[in-house]
Amino acid sequence: MKVLNLKAYDYRNLARLDYTPGEGVNIICGENGLGKTNLIESIWLFTGCRSFRSVRDKDVVMFSQPQARLEMEFHSGNRTKNAVITVDEKRHAELNGISLASGRKMMGEFTCVAFTPLHLSIVKDGPEERRKFLDIALSQLKPKYAKSLLEYNKILAQRNATLRAARDNPSFLAMLDIWDEELAQKGAVIIDSRMRCLESLKEYACSAYDEISSGKETLTLRYKEYAREKAQGRQEIYESLIAALREKRDGDVDRCITSVGAHREEFSIELSGKSARNFGSQGQQRSAALSLKLAEADLIAKATGEEPVILLDDVFSELDPQRQKYVVSRLQNRQVFITCCDEENLVHMEGLNVKVERLEQLEK
């Protein structure tokens, strides 16, 4: 996967941008607030996923303008493709001149992995961030997964609504059997996919961490079930979910929330046996999050047969020169976009093949 050209019009603070990147490592420099993260975000939107920055699609439209427009020419599966994304109240997408039903339909067409300071939350924040990490990786690997997740969330909302109704009127309790069944069925599909994904990521992430840290610490990832028996495979997971949902039902009715299921589970990240969230240094946490992202890229490459584009926003902060150089040298044979404020960082890149540009030069 390679971006050949990107044009942006009225995208956040980028009024007009025309960018022809190199095939390898591209470093984009510029002061704070110039629009580097916006550029990274604009490439990310071609994955069909939501922005990692805002919840509302329309936030990317330049203030007081009606529409943002992005045009990308990219190389995928030995073919050159053209995609257009326009955003007004919603996202719209076009691929090779054909309108898609929604912006989400780009999923699987253009694959990339983004690592920004916001992604440090995978290590630093609560379980939701780690679930989101697996969900985004899986959505790009299997666009059907994103659909299953939407369905799961709908069933969960319906079960919670039934719990609220049942608290005041016990006749609703009978309906819970139906929701438990559906939630356990769909939940087992999601959990099974997440467990397999984590299992495949493990190997890549641990070796990436080992290299980034020059073997100073070891990374361990472990899937964490919540309030149910450990289980392997879809059928066993389904059975453990059904049993746990029944066991927790009275408490769920009292509190009107579903306490068991895919929406509560996560995985732990440990460095040399200690929780990275609670005990890791800033640089170690960044290295762990980055290793997970590089592993995600390896996994996508293995599954699709094509290296995804890699977006690294402000990745050099808090990494010592040795770790920085490792990152760039490990990514030599892929197309990578790295943003940074400080060109001084680049002295460490001597001997590596990188194209360095200032963001101002790309604005037309």
Ligand X SMILES: Nc1ncnc2c1ncn2[C@@H]1O[C@H](COP(=O)(O)OP(=O)(O)OP(=O)(O)O)[C@@H](O)[C@H]1O
Q: Summarize as ranges the residues that interact with ligand X (CB under 6 A).
A: 12-13, 30, 32-38, 59, 61-63, 314, 341
Identify what 319 binds: Mg ion, ligand X, none; CB under 5 to 8 Å per kind. Answer: none
Measure Cα distances from 279 to 273, 290, 317 in Å: 10, 17, 19
Contact between residue 150 and residue 109 where contact means Cβ atoms under 8 Å apart: no
Least separation, in Å, of the C-beta of 59 and ligand X?
Answer: 6
Q: Which is nearer to ligand X, 59 or 199 (CB)?
A: 59
Verify binding: residue 42, Mg ion, rule CB under 5 A: no
Q: Which is nearer to ligand X, 60 or 155 (CB)?
A: 60
Query: How is residue 216 written in tokens?
Result: 């100073």
Distance, CA of 184 to CA of 156 (rounded, Å): 10
Least separation, in Å, of the C-beta of 40 and ligand X?
Answer: 8
Q: Which is nearer to Mg ion, 36 or 130 (CB)?
A: 36
Query: How is residue 162 written in tokens?
Result: 């039934």
Q: Is 98 helix (H, G, I), strand (E, B) or coil?
A: strand
Least separation, in Å, of the C-beta of 201 and ligand X?
Answer: 28
218 DSSP assignment: -
Least separation, in Å, of the C-beta of 357 and ligand X?
Answer: 13
Least separation, in Å, of the C-beta of 87 and ligand X?
Answer: 10
With tokens 């087992």, the residue in question is 188
* Interstrand relation of 219-224 and 274-275 (parallel, antiparallel or unpaired): unpaired
To the nearest 10°, the Cα dihedral for 46, 50, 55, 59? 10
Select from 37, 139, 291, 335 the one that contacts Mg ion (CB under 5 A): 37
Q: Which is nearer to Mg ion, 39 or 155 (CB)?
A: 39
Q: DSSP letter string over 43-93?
A: HHGGGSSPPSS-SSGGGGBPTT-S-EEEEEEEEETTEEEEEEEEESSSEEE
Q: Which is nearer to ligand X, 56 or 302 (CB)?
A: 56
Number of residues that bind Mg ion (CB under 5 A): 2
Q: Which is nearer to ligand X, 31 or 128 (CB)?
A: 31
Identify what 227 binds: ligand X, Mg ion, none; CB under 5 to 8 Å per kind. Answer: none
Query: How is residue 291 written in tokens?
Result: 């290793």
Contact between residue 37 and residue 6 where contact means Cβ atoms under 8 Å apart: no
Query: Which residue's C-beta sits nearest to Mg ion?
Result: 37
Least separation, in Å, of the C-beta of 116 and ligand X?
Answer: 9
Kindly list the residues in this chain that would bind Mg ion in the complex (CB under 5 A): 36-37
